[in-house]
Structure 1
């Protein structure tokens, strides 16, 4: 069976964080012998077509008069909120994906749409292609479904899908009023992890001039307002964490937000303790995680927080904002800690206490590792294949 993976973003180059979980799922599809194509928007200078594993990657241009700039960066909805004129590109983006789906209809038997926008495209094409489709809800889709008007507009695409995949329980609750329960499936993303040899860890610390004398908190993710990276920086200004450093790793397509983070770091006199590492290739992330004792995620919203799960798989103690997606994977004070982003003194107290309590750190880290390592990408792909069949 040939699968068409339809997605509104996809890794553009090796090491790109954009929808890296969709890229890993496609790699897992290839590993278990599936084949097909990926249809995704073009961004800047990447190849319009290429071959990855058993899949042909097809990137479609959609900009009207200018380069399309809606799909990447912070994501479609955040991009529109920060630059409202980009809403004018929505129809050209959806139209370009629809045209490519129709052109390639003889090249696939089923469509796996990632995000509701892609699901709408698959739905509009289905009367002409006669191909079934499934939709995986991710990230910002929860905000769309929480809006009464958008629920009405999106309901036909959801109802006509052969299956709708929820990556967390919040999505399942939002879907229940929209489609029969037997059409809703729950499939968790896989988790990438590996143990880091001592020599690799030493080399990474040397290359990034990291001190051995301080406790380290790690953040990995896109530098966008949704991730609330400023919360992590403010946390480090609390006196009880004066012997901590914060390592921030991630690509920033939002230069205004990056400048705000840099200015905040300067205003709090944290230039020597808050390190903006920029983007690192996925192969370097295990070494980065191995450098720290703690991992932080202060996101205001998540679908299935892969970076948190990868930190847990590495045995890190995770401090995560008290939101539904984090509550689903972290048992407070058992496999990690949840915190109120408006009460940073309490969060600092947790970290300071754990820093002097190695036994508790190891117990929490082991519980986190045991939980997260049960999820593999090949296992995830096999579950999708069962649904697609």
Structure 2
């Protein structure tokens, strides 16, 4: 009996003295994935239009019972909004006096901010250091770090390597467009691929480009498309009137090439009206262009609008026009297609994966106003095409299952693969 009691006591002590599990082991045991999502663009305060697709993905992931999401983003010029704790927890880091915290969140992001306000370069070292330290602070308690954009990915990859935490990074259009011409871009992405578990892209063309340039890391690259909210699928088809109502949505920066659209509208004043949604450093030049081209009565500048307003705005218009020179896979195109709106877009790899010319939308050569005007006149001469193109566009979204719920499921599966690969 004495021996048996001794064994029980010994076994009890062994169980009591068992070391605490690491976050990764604990997550595997609980089957819960704890994610730190790092980003330089997120709606960190009320009515801020910043990183809507990151916000929507975080919200969709947070609705999954097996996933816990914490967001880390730069602080802004106003105090941080309250976290949506049922879906995610929002953390921010300070890097300057509040009124100078303008590096992130504004149209065009950090590159445009630095060009517009050169004094902001003074805060870049503090920005990077603060981002790094906060990623360590919150990341070491997580089991996955999910970085958005290449620059954020470099910081997250460093932390992941130091803390032995798997890192998944999502690249978008601007991250890859200069891959063939920029040594800095190639170094950044090579570093990211070397030190991350997986790298995802928002379109297949970017996936192919990365695999071509970095064949030794091809096994780490995969494509996960963004999704679209179900509320867009509930909108009724357009019924064009005498004047076709166009809408263009995006930051007013050179890359969006709104000037191309305004030039294309010259001489078509009676056939179209245009609403431009967004703000940015190009606004004054664009307003002046409408005066020069005689379009003042045809063009309305609405400024930035909250994401919640976009469904109603699309519902009030017939056609979305995207005039960008480069994009990844623009969410505004997905939303317009889901809303059953006809889309006229510049020919971009991410868009051409969605739109077949004259079947599910219209495509034109980027920066070519004559080509864009030709497509506009096609619709003005045949307005019955608009609902037909819109219906075909919505079917593309439905057939490809491009919802945020599906996107969140793909990322959840990727997280599980990353944990197994550790």
Do Structure 1 and Structure 2 share a fold, with TM-score over 0.5? yes
Alignment counterpart, residue 40 of structure 1, candidates 68, 73, 94: 73
Residue 374 of structure 2 is matched in structure 1 by: 349
User: Residue 216 of structure 1 contacts residue 246 of structure 1 at CA under 8 Å; is this kept in 2?
Assistant: yes
Distance 1:323 1:54, change over 3 A: closer
The number of residue pairs the alignment matches comes to 375
User: Residue 9 of structure 1 contacts residue 40 of structure 1 at CA under 8 Å; is this kept in 2?
Assistant: yes
Residue 58 of structure 2 is matched in structure 1 by: 26
Deviations 1:175-232 (A, max 9, x none): 213242221111000012242479xx9xxxxxxxxx9642111111222222112222
Residue 145 of structure 1 is matched in structure 2 by: 179
**1:362 aligns to what SS in structure 2?**
helix
Alignment counterpart, residue 234 of structure 2, candidates 184, 192, 195: 195
Residue 252 of structure 2 is matched in structure 1 by: 223
User: Residue 64 of structure 1 contacts residue 92 of structure 1 at CA under 8 Å; is this kept in 2?
Assistant: no
Structure 1 residue 104 corresponds to structure 2 residue 138: yes
Structure 1 residue 50 corresponds to structure 2 residue 83: yes
Residue 207 of structure 1 is matched in structure 2 by: none
Worse overlay, 347-356 or 128-137 = 347-356
Deviations 1:357-383 (A, max 9, x none): 244323221111111242110110110
Residue 312 of structure 1 is matched in structure 2 by: 337
User: Residue 228 of structure 1 contacts residue 298 of structure 1 at CA under 8 Å; is this kept in 2?
Assistant: yes
User: Residue 319 of structure 2 contacts residue 386 of structure 2 at CA under 8 Å; is this kept in 1?
Assistant: no
Structure 1 residue 381 corresponds to structure 2 residue 414: no
Worse overlay, 185-194 or 321-330 = 321-330
Q: CA RMSD in A?
A: 2.5
Structure 1 residue 167 corresponds to structure 2 residue 202: yes
Instruction: Output aligned runs, 1:308-347, within 5 Å.
Output: 308-347=333-372
Structure 2 residue runs without a partner (length 5+):
1-32, 417-422
Residue 273 of structure 1 is matched in structure 2 by: 298
Shift, 1:171, TM fit: 1.9
Q: How far apart in 1 are the matches of 2:323 and 2:383?
A: 24
**1:123 aligns to what SS in structure 2?**
helix
Distance 1:335 1:83, change over 3 A: same
Structure 1 residue 125 corresponds to structure 2 residue 159: yes
Residue 186 of structure 1 is matched in structure 2 by: 223
Structure 1 residue 245 corresponds to structure 2 residue 278: no
Residue 128 of structure 2 is matched in structure 1 by: 94
Q: How far apart in 2 are the matches of 1:123 and 1:341?
A: 35
Deviations 1:316-366 (A, max 9, x none): 111111222222221111111111244423422322232342443232211
Worse overlay, 227-236 or 38-47 = 227-236
Residue 155 of structure 1 is matched in structure 2 by: 190
User: Residue 34 of structure 2 contacts residue 142 of structure 2 at CA under 8 Å; is this kept in 1?
Assistant: yes
Shift, 1:75, TM fit: 1.1
Residue 7 of structure 1 is matched in structure 2 by: 39
Shift, 1:387, TM fit: 0.4
Q: TM-score, normalised by structure 2?
A: 0.82
Shift, 1:129, TM fit: 1.9
**1:320 aligns to what SS in structure 2?**
strand
Shift, 1:65, TM fit: 10
Structure 1 residue 136 corresponds to structure 2 residue 142: no
Q: How far apart in 2 are the matches of 1:98 and 1:326?
A: 34
Q: TM-score, normalised by structure 1?
A: 0.89
Structure 1 residue runs without a partner (length 5+):
202-210
Q: How far apart in 2 are the matches of 1:127 and 1:294?
A: 47
Residue 283 of structure 1 is matched in structure 2 by: 308
Q: State the structure with more CA Rg.
A: 2
Q: How far apart in 2 are the matches of 1:120 and 1:93?
A: 14
**2:370 aligns to what SS in structure 1?**
helix
Instruction: Output aligned runs, 1:54-65, within 5 Å.
Output: 54-63=87-96
User: Residue 25 of structure 1 contacts residue 377 of structure 1 at CA under 8 Å; is this kept in 2?
Assistant: yes
Structure 1 residue 364 corresponds to structure 2 residue 401: no
Shift, 1:150, TM fit: 3.0
User: Residue 236 of structure 2 contacts residue 340 of structure 2 at CA under 8 Å; is this kept in 1?
Assistant: no
Q: How far apart in 2 are the matches of 1:172 and 1:370?
A: 24
Shift, 1:139, TM fit: 2.9
Distance 1:175 1:349, change over 3 A: closer
Worse overlay, 333-342 or 310-319 = 333-342
Q: How far apart in 2 are the matches of 1:303 and 1:56?
A: 27
